[in-house]
Each structure stands twice: as C-alpha cells, then as structure tokens.
Amino acid sequence: MNSGKYVFAQLLQFVNKYEFDKLVKRYNGDYRVRELNCWNLFVQLFFGQLTSLNSLRDICTCLKAHRQKLYHLGIKQNVNQSTLSRAKERRDWKIFAEFGEHLIQKVRPLYSDNLIPNVDIDNEVFALDSTTISLSIKLFSWAQGKYSRGAVKIHTLLDLRGSIPTFIHIPDGKYHDSNVLDIMPPAPDAIY
C-alpha cells in the first residue's frame, strides 16, 4: 500500500498555481466554464506529457483506468475525449504559452553552470533548428507550404546548457529559416 504522495503529485507542487491563475485571469480563461477549468486542463495535459501519451484518447483512457487514484495525483476529475478536445479549442493558447515561458525562465538559471560536452566556453551557447510539418491544404488552408501543399515550420532556439528551448516560432511552411533571425531576441555575448 502506498504510504506517501505519488510522484506526479510531488512534481505538481513545483508548478506555481498562483502564476498560472494570474494568466487565466488576464486572458479570461475560465469564462463560462462549468466542468473543466484551465488548471485541471493543464494538469491533465501535464500528466499526458510526463507519461509519454500520444493523444487525447490515451490521456482519457489512462486517467479512467486510474480513477481511484485521481484525487491523490492532484487531478480533480477525469473527462472524456470530446470534453478535453473542446476545452483545448476554447481556451486561449496564450495562457499556456506564457506559463511555459515563465517555467523556462525559472528553470534556465538552474542549468547555467552545466558544462557542454567537448566545448570549453563560458558564454551562452544556442543551437537554432527548424523542422517542417506537412498538413492537408484542404483542412489547413491558412498553412501555405511549398508546391501548393499545406505545412507549418517550427523554429526552435535551444540553450545547450540543459537542452532547454528558449525561443519557439511557428509560421507557415513558406517562411524561410533566415527570416527567424529578425524576430529572435538576441542575448549579449552569446554564441549561436
């Protein structure tokens, strides 16, 4: 029999709910919400991320299988896939994006003294990479790609001390890689 807190509940204690609630209030995230508020949505998606679940269906199935443990995990309720999907559609993505930036700013100083393998430099070292994700042009008409296909590009700036993403930009597929340098905030004395 388990005598202490579950690991997920212990990890959830490190997440600052006060900062999250400030963002929810700023973007009016819980307006006209009856069942699944932003915090519970975040906790369920956080559970899915940590347990390497691939879809909303997997998250719902896993939480349903552990129904008796939900309270001890810190999850208020399990919901079905359609409720989780609608909640993701109706919540402002800026809540989760700004909260992610808040968490990154909190974690980056913890890794500032880490050494980069085979590199003996005290400056900040970043790697910029991009990937293209193909989409159906009929379903995603806003995502113009090359050769009349649909696509989005993800540009990621990765801090090599701790492998933490510090900048992410998601434009359509026609956006050239060199253009992201114009909008990326540069750090002084950093190596890219």
At residue 2, the pLDDT reads 64
DSSP 181: H
Dihedrals φ, ψ of 102, to 5°?
-60, -45
Cβ-based neighbours of 22, under 8 Å, separated by 6 or more = none
What average pLDDT does the segment 62-84 reach?
Answer: 89
CA dihedral 75, 79, 80, 86 (to 10 degrees): -100
At residue 114, the pLDDT reads 84
At residue 144, the pLDDT reads 82
Tell me the C-alpha distance between 163 and 125, whole Å.
10
Tell me the C-alpha distance between 101 and 79, whole Å.
27
Could you give the angle at which helices 38-50 and 81-90 cross, rounded to 10 degrees? 110
pTM across the whole model = 0.81
Residue 130's Cβ-count burial label (10 Å; 0-12, 13-18, 19+) is: middle
Which amino acid, one-letter code, is at 47? F
At residue 141, the pLDDT reads 81
**Which pLDDT tens digit goes with each residue over 22-71?**
999 999 999 988 888 999 999 999 999 999 999 999 999 999 998 998 88
Cβ-based neighbours of 144, under 8 Å, separated by 6 or more = 137, 150, 151, 172, 173, 174
At residue 1, the pLDDT reads 55
pLDDT(146) > 80: no
Tell me the C-alpha distance between 151 and 134, whole Å.
4
Tell me the C-alpha distance between 35 and 13, whole Å.
23
Which amino acid, one-letter code, is at 99? F
Closest C-alpha to 141, from 173, 168, 169: 173
